[in-house]
Amino acid sequence: MASKALLLALLGAVAVLGVTAEELSTSGRSLLATGFPYCACDNKAKHSPYRLTTAPSVSYMGQTWMCFTLYLNATGTSCSLPAGSRPACCDANLYKLEFDVDPACKGTSDLALLFKGYNTVVDGVTIQETVKTISIEVLDRTPAAAVLRISKGLEMPQAVLASFSSGLPVCFNRKPGFCTTTQLFMSPDSATYALFNTNKNCCPSGLAGPLNPPDQPKPNTYPSPPAAPLPPSPEPPSPSPMAGKRSPP
């Protein structure tokens, strides 16, 4: 009852302030949710087959890119129930990917590399290596919070992603001189993510890890090569003929 009264009060405030429905969908992050993904949607991983895991970083266009793999896995979810009995998010499409990041890291990433190494069409959807502009949005809330959002070029029906048994790669750059990977994700070993459908009412969330930060390379564990052998000593000079020795007659 108390939560309902609070919601009515918030809606009343929206009406007084003249906030539109579109504005509410954005400002709703601060009004209707206290933690990531900072919006009113079904974020239970059990209600969706969408998953994200870390992948090795890559070098591309002279930059280092943090990479993840998008895939489907309904094991342990409610999505194995018959149609009509399972949660609606089990059948949702894919629209965008968001990460919970440190607001102090705004500017660290500005490009997304989608589907590296792919060039195909599935059910009319083009899956092709491409680079898209992204940004880190600092939210208007207290305490401060921010999200790194990848949406352009990511939208596809669930059946399209299902056709890639190994999943699809999604990467973003990390510009030199800004936050390290662990600073960006506010964690030494994982990234907190959410995957949204077009209606933004499904947002399965989880942790992707372990991280392999490009700014913290693993030490070289290979043994040093053996030292080159020393060159052989020069041969002694030939003896000079004896002075005054006569040739035989």
Q: Structure pTM?
A: 0.74
- pLDDT (tens digit per residue) in 90-110: 999 999 999 999 999 999 999
Dihedrals phi, psi of 31, to nearest 5 degrees = -85, -35
Rounded to the nearest integer, the mean pLDDT of the chain is 81
3-state secondary structure of 132: strand
The yes-or-no verdict on residue 247 having pLDDT over 70 is: no
Non-local (6+) Cβ contacts of 179 within 8 A are 102, 104, 105, 108
The yes-or-no verdict on residue 89 having pLDDT over 90 is: yes
Encoded tokens for 155: 């939208």
- Report d(CA 156, CA 197) in Å as an integer: 9
Residue 98, CA atoms < 13 Å, CB-side half-sphere: 23
What's the confidence (pLDDT) of residue 83?
A: 87
Listed residue (22, 40, 32) closest to 201, CA to CA: 40
Domain boundaries, the chain: 33-71+89-208
- Report d(CA 122, CA 239) in Å as an integer: 86
Dihedrals phi, psi of 4, to nearest 5 degrees = -65, -40
Please give the C-alpha separations between residue 147 and each of 97, 144, 173, 190, in angstroms, as whole numbers: 10, 11, 15, 15
- pLDDT (tens digit per residue) in 154-205: 999 999 999 999 999 999 999 999 999 999 999 999 999 999 999 999 999 9
- pLDDT (tens digit per residue) in 7-35: 334 334 333 333 333 333 433 444 456 89
